[in-house]
């Protein structure tokens, strides 16, 4: 359930506690269908509004639940992510062979890790910044930006997955 739906649900629950409103509170079934309901559930129409303390406690409890449980479709992390930077060049043969692998990795690890390609022939500062001796070079960083692993040459998707797994970045099971 996404955050907006959970927030709206929380507001409805708190409003029901404050007003004493219950769907079907006029004696119809709880779903509001009345006698046409296939599975009527009687509802007590005499529910009194909740006390202010009960409402405050319920609101705090619902708000904590909304904040504490991220939606299932959310990325694994909302802050900085681990990162793979591939430094190469568009015209380098092994680098061109890496290009589709990097694109696949970007898709597979979306929301779990960042995957970036830097062309060191177009961006010469990157070569010196990262201490590149040969291309392609892959550098893996943790979420804090610390270099954890460096590889020079072609690096397969299987090797990328193993390295991310060793860093605790696992792909969801199909």
Is the pLDDT at 123 greater than 90, yes or no? yes
For residue 86, list its beta bridge partners.
117, 138
Q: Is the pTM for the entire model greater than 0.85?
A: no
Mean pLDDT across 138-148: 97
Q: Which CATH superfamily is domain 83-166 in?
A: Glutaredoxin (3.40.30.10)
Rounded CA separation 24/12 (Å) = 15
Length of the chain counted residue by residue: 174
85 CB contacts (<8 Å, ≥6 apart)?
116, 117, 118, 130, 138, 139, 141
Residue closest to 120 by CA, chosen among 80, 90, 98: 90
For 101-118, the pLDDT digits (tens) are 999 999 999 999 999 999
**Confidence band of 170 (pLDDT split at 50, 70, 90):** confident
Percent of the chain at pLDDT exceeding 70:
55
Distances (CA, A) of 38 to 16, 31, 35, 41: 25, 10, 8, 10
Look up residue 150 and give its two tokens.
């460096």
Domain span(s) for CATH 3.40.30.10 in the chain: 83-166
Q: What average pLDDT does the chain have? A: 72
Residue closest to 97 by CA, chosen among 133, 136, 64, 71: 136
């Amino acid at each position: 359930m996404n955050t907006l739906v959970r927030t709206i649900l929380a507001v409805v629950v708190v409003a029901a506690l404050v007003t004493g409103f219950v769907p079907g509170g006029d004696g119809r079934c709880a779903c509001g269908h009345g006698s046409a309901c296939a599975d009527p559930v009687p509802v007590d129409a005499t529910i009194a509004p909740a006390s202010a303390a009960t409402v405050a406690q319920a609101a705090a409890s619902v708000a904590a639940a909304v904040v504490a449980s991220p939606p299932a479709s959310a990325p694994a992390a909302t802050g900085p992510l681990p990162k793979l930077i591939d430094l190469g060049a568009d015209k380098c043969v092994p680098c061109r062979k890496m290009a589709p692998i990097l694109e696949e990795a970007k898709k597979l690890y979306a929301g779990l890790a960042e995957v970036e390609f830097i062309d060191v022939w177009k961006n010469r500062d990157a070569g010196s910044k990262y201490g590149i001796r040969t291309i392609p070079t892959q550098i893996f960083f943790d979420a804090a930006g610390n270099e954890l692993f460096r590889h020079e040459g072609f690096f397969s998707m299987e090797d990328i997955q193993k390295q991310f797994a060793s860093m605790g970045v696992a792909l969801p099971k199909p």
